[in-house]
Amino acid sequence: MLAIIGAGPAGLAAALEAHKEGIKDIVIFERAKEPGGILLQCIHTGFGLHYFNEEISGPEYAARFSEAIKDTDIKLICDTMVTSISKDLEIIAMNKKDGLMKFKADAIILAMGCRERPRGALNIYGTRPSGIMTAGAAQEYINIKGYMPGKKCVILGSGDIGLIMARRMTLEGAKVEAVCELLPFSGGLKRNIVQCLDDYGIPLRLSTTVVCVHGKERLEGVTIAKVDDKLQPIPDTEEYIECDTLLLSVGLIPENELSQLAGIKIDPVTKGPVVSDTRETSISGIFACGNVLQVHDLVDFVTLESQVAGKAAAEFIKNRNLKNEFAKVVPGERVRYIVPQKVSLPVTEELTFYFRVTNEFDNMIVSLSVNDKEIYSKKKRKLAPGEMENLKIKTELFENLTSDDVIEIKVKEK
Amino acid sequence: MKTDIAIIGGGVVGNMIARELSAYDVGIVVLEKNHDISMETTKANSGIVHAGYDAMPGSLKALLNVRGCALMEDVCAKLYVPYKKTGSIVIAFNEEEHEHIKALYDRGIANSVPNLEIINKARLREIEPEISPKAISALYAPDAGIVSPYELSDSAADCAANNGATYIRNFEVSSIEMKDDMFVISDGECFIEANIVINVAGTHSDDIANMVGDFSFKISPRPGEYALLDKAAGYIANTVIFTTPSKMGKGVLVAPTTHGNIIVGPSSYDADEKESYAIRKGQLPIIFEKAKESVPNLPVGQMITSFAGIRAHTEGDDFIIGSSKMNKNFINVAGIASPGLASSPAIAEYVADIVKEVYPKELRRKENYNPSIKRPIRINSMSFEEKQVAIAKNPDYARVICRCETVTEGEIKDAIHRPVGAVDIDGVKRRVRAGMGRCQGGFCGSKVMDILSEELDIPVNSVTKFGKNSKIIFERTK
């Protein structure tokens, strides 16, 4: 049995791919009542441009996969929580209908997605009123429950969900006073800044953060301040904004509690498992894909990544041909992280490396080298931390790669 | 409404007193001004069961702390409250501080604190491997411990209610008049007549005493801020780690919580406001800096939340417990700052003794008094087989609502339907920890709202975070 944990875009795509590869016994565990994951509350369009060559909404994108699942014998168990997985591929799950269940899988694909960073992790002083919530929680209240979480709003963090919610709140008649971003650049996609803020005249205030919240029961206002280059608030730049809602879009964290329970090695930068090009984790037979592995900007790339994991898991079940020789992949100058973190040997297929840069850069060269010898480079006009980059490298460039070799990707000046 | 005893204040001390008195054949009404019990000092403190070496010999604090510490384990077992005898240490960094802990040791011996010892550097590092290498010695109190303060308070309230006590929430006492020999307590709308009033109103206990003409003490609110770290930081402290105390309190501590998190704090300052639960600018970095003096590698990046609590500090620096000079049937239980939580089981006994003295009739012990409550289901801490049994009885225990803490629908419904049940999102959080984990309710908040709405039969947009105007959602979308 191939067990897939999570029926969001990652889990669904991985399941379909494994099915295509001939795996019959596939079970997807989903904690929500229906498949689709976070896409279900993303009712805006902008999904599918890369994968389907058209612009569709989140629920539509999800439906294309969940409908396809219906035509297969893939088993989807919803409203079910997986409470543990082990390194021996044992899974414990429970739901109201079947109670407590124990399974032994032949392979597992982790597709649990990510969660939003909460307020507590931020150093905001002041009171603890209601009206402070993550942008994703507000999105659920509006799009799923159909209720407004407030009328006058400040958004902290310019991640994509924050930008999308700035527009959504405005469309529903709320006033969005400002989107504040701690960094000197936005972590969101350029197109979202244009379509969600600029088009509605919502100010994006860079190098600005919320330092204090006010209000005893319901939020009454926030104090914002400019920050210096060490990201510390600058005295005398404080400004009070009256608002009843503070939405936080201050980062996403892959949900790896289950992975850690099994003892899977986690990359301290991505906060997701360390994987090879097949998306196999440090535990043989356990694969990971989607936002549990690395936080993506676009679901299209989640789909592609999950297909890689689905195919590899199928291969693992069918042939048990364990590749256990790897070449290391390390981020070089101006690169924050790279997925995969290692490449299994020998390389038999074209490889795609996904990475993020450390800052905004113009007119640079992305360079891939093996043991400091450049084997591939390409020009990039614009690079930003908010946009995940990828490099496709042909098989022949990695001929004779050995486990002593180190692959490095860096961004250098022209 | 008429009753024998009215207890003003549903914090941990009020609830422990209510539980103690509910063993007797008397009518008890507990009046709480907030939307729920345990919402003030009880919900925001260090959660420490102090051993009892801090207080001056002969003081009420010394007497009741040592007794309370001795009673705590049994009380927690009866009420199924998380408690752990972790021990505590007070670190000395230099000779002067070493002299100070020796003085604390002597004080502890005078207070009859058991098993106290002064330990050397090697032993200290054995107990706390992460402690600063600069520490030269420590006072070790193996009998000190940690307890979940709001769970103790809420379970004590349930126990009292099971034994006949009545809880009235949203009752903010605005006046107390005398009618014949009875007190008439009002919130401006309703009237409660009682023979005996026990004033356990925390930071407001002086205001309540003033209502009967008792101006004998004044509460100076003294807030303190805390940071809570993720369970991943749990390795950093095994015991409650104190630095040597100052005039303003016991200094910044680093301690495990009963649920495996790490608590760091508190700060201390005198405030004007009695309900200033705000974190002040720049305080958290100061707390962390101080904490790092004891535990240099404290992983401050693991902070999941921060909060402020308020100590009901009084001038005399001792508990004020006894009949008011104005009226022997008006019993003040005031100035219950630290070690109030640790002392609470002993304060309850002590107050019950006072009630026995002033009560016009002999207090008869109920035959059917139950000092315990029904064992709550906690899926998270059950074995596979135990879970199977629980889920077979009620499938609601198989539906996980809070992922971070693995809290199920069944547990949340139980929290709502307890004798003094949860009525808002924070109330569910305190009772069963839904929303207490690393995502801080980001995922489960909405589901908890639905369950509260369903179980309390109220519209979903009238569910609040903690009562009054703390609503989460408003009108329908367009």
- Chain B: nearest CA to A120, how far in angstroms? 4
Residue of B nearest to A174 (CA): B477
Distance of CA A217 to the CA centre of its chain: 33
Q: Which helix (DSSP H) or strand (DSSP E) does residue A383 occupy?
A: strand A373-383
Contact B47, B70 (CB under 8 A): no
- Chain B: nearest CA to A219, how far in angstroms? 8
The whole-number average pLDDT for the span B5-13 is 98
Question: Hey, is A196 helix, strand or coil?
Answer: helix
State percent of chain B over pLDDT 90: 87
At residue A320, does pLDDT exceed 90?
no
Name the residue facing B475 among A119, A136, A148 (closest C-beta). Answer: A148
pLDDT given at position B380? 92
Report the distance separating Cα B58 and Cα A179, nearest Å: 59
At residue B60, does pLDDT exceed 70?
yes
Dihedral of CA atoms A151, A116, B439, B445 in degrees, nearest 10, equals 40
Tell me how crowded residue B46 is: count the other CB atoms within 10 A of its CB. Answer: 24
pLDDT given at position B117? 97
Range with lowest mean pLDDT among A318-332, B364-378, B422-436: A318-332
CB contact under 8 A, A145 and B285: no
What 8-state DSSP symbol labels residue B464?
A: B
Interface of B with A in 96-155 (CB under 8 A): none
**pLDDT tens by residue, A202-237:** 999 999 999 999 999 999 999 999 999 999 999 999
At residue B70, does pLDDT exceed 70?
yes
At residue B437, does pLDDT exceed 90?
no
**pLDDT tens by residue, A48-96:** 999 999 999 999 999 999 999 999 999 999 999 999 999 999 999 999 9
pLDDT given at position B439? 83
Strands A252-254 and A114-116: antiparallel
Unique residue bearing structure tokens 């406001």: B273
pLDDT given at position B267? 85
Report the distance separating Cα A135 and Cα A152, nearest Å: 14
Give Rg (Cα) of chain B. Answer: 22
Q: Alpha carbon of B96 to those of B44, B250, B375: distances in Å?
A: 32, 17, 49
Phi and psi of A157, rounded to 5°?
Answer: 100, 130
At residue A123, does pLDDT exceed 80?
no
Residues with Cβ within 8 Å of A170's Cβ and at least 6 positions away in sequence, in order, are: A176, A200, A202
Q: Find, among A207, A227, A293, the residue nearest to A256 by Cα.
A: A293
Unique residue bearing structure tokens 């101080």: B290
Report the distance separating Cα B168 and Cα B423, nearest Å: 13
pLDDT given at position A64? 98
Distance of CA B391 to the CA centre of its chain: 31
Q: Find, among A106, A103, A107, A113, the residue nearest to A82 by Cα.
A: A103
Which residues does chain B have within 8 Å of residue A120's beta carbon, measured at their own beta carbons?
228, 303-306, 440
User: Which amino acid is it at B140?
Assistant: Y
Unique residue bearing structure tokens 């009885």: B393
**pLDDT tens by residue, B322-374:** 999 999 999 999 999 999 999 999 999 999 999 999 998 899 999 999 999 99
Q: Where are the alpha helices (DSSP H) in A199-349?
A: 257-262, 299-319
Strands A175-180 and A204-205: parallel
**pLDDT tens by residue, A16-36:** 999 999 999 999 999 999 999
Question: Hey, is B41 helix, strand or coil?
Answer: helix
Active site residues of B: 50
Unique residue bearing structure tokens 């007797």: B24
| Burial of B187: CB neighbours in 10 Å, binned 0-12, 13-18, 19+ | middle
| Interface residue of B399, B430, B450, B453 to substitute, partner A, most A CBs within 10 Å | B399
**pLDDT tens by residue, A274-300:** 999 999 999 999 999 999 999 999 999
Tokens matching residue B78: 């009866």
User: Which amino acid is it at A128?
Assistant: R
Report the distance separating Cα B95 and Cα B379, nearest Å: 49
pLDDT given at position B375? 95
Q: Find, among B220, B387, B56, the residue nearest to A100 by Cα.
A: B387
Question: Hey, is A169 helix, strand or coil?
Answer: helix
Q: Find, among B33, B44, B40, B5, the residue nearest to B257 by Cα.
A: B44
Mean predicted lDDT score pLDDT of chain A: 95
Phi and psi of A379, rounded to 5°?
Answer: -80, 145
CB neighbour burial string for B408-420, b if at least 16 within 10 angstroms, e if fewer: bbbbbbbbbebbb
pLDDT given at position A121? 63
The whole-number average pLDDT for the span B198-218 is 97
Count how many Cα atoms sit within 13 Å of the Cα of residue B114 in the half-sphere of its side chain.
7
**pLDDT tens by residue, A244-263:** 999 999 989 999 999 999 99
Phi and psi of A357, rounded to 5°?
Answer: -90, 165
Report the distance separating Cα A61 and Cα A42, nearest Å: 10
- Per-residue pLDDT band at B250 (split at 50, 70, 90): low
- Per-residue pLDDT band at A321 (split at 50, 70, 90): low
CB contact under 8 A, A118 and B399: no
Q: What interface predicted TM-score (ipTM) does this complex get?
A: 0.93
Model pTM score: 0.94
At residue B275, does pLDDT exceed 80?
no
Query: Does A129 touch chain B if contact means CB atoms closer than 8 Å?
Result: yes
pLDDT given at position B316? 87
CB contact under 8 A, B400 and A31: yes
Query: Does B464 touch chain A if contact means CB atoms closer than 8 Å?
Result: yes
| Burial of A400: CB neighbours in 10 Å, binned 0-12, 13-18, 19+ | exposed
Domains of chain B, each with CATH number or no CATH: 1-82+147-219+314-375 (3.50.50.60), 88-142+223-310 (3.30.9.10), 379-462 (1.10.10)
CB contact under 8 A, A146 and B476: yes
pLDDT given at position B317? 87
Q: Which helix (DSSP H) or strand (DSSP E) does residue A16 occupy?
A: helix A9-20
Tokens matching residue B455: 């179980």
Tokens matching residue B386: 């135990």
**pLDDT tens by residue, A143-169:** 999 999 999 999 999 989 999 999 999
- Per-residue pLDDT band at B274 (split at 50, 70, 90): low
Task: Give all strands (DSSP E) within A96-249, no chain letters.
Answer: 99-104, 107-110, 114-116, 125-126, 132-134, 152-156, 175-180, 204-205, 208-214, 221-226, 239-242, 245-248
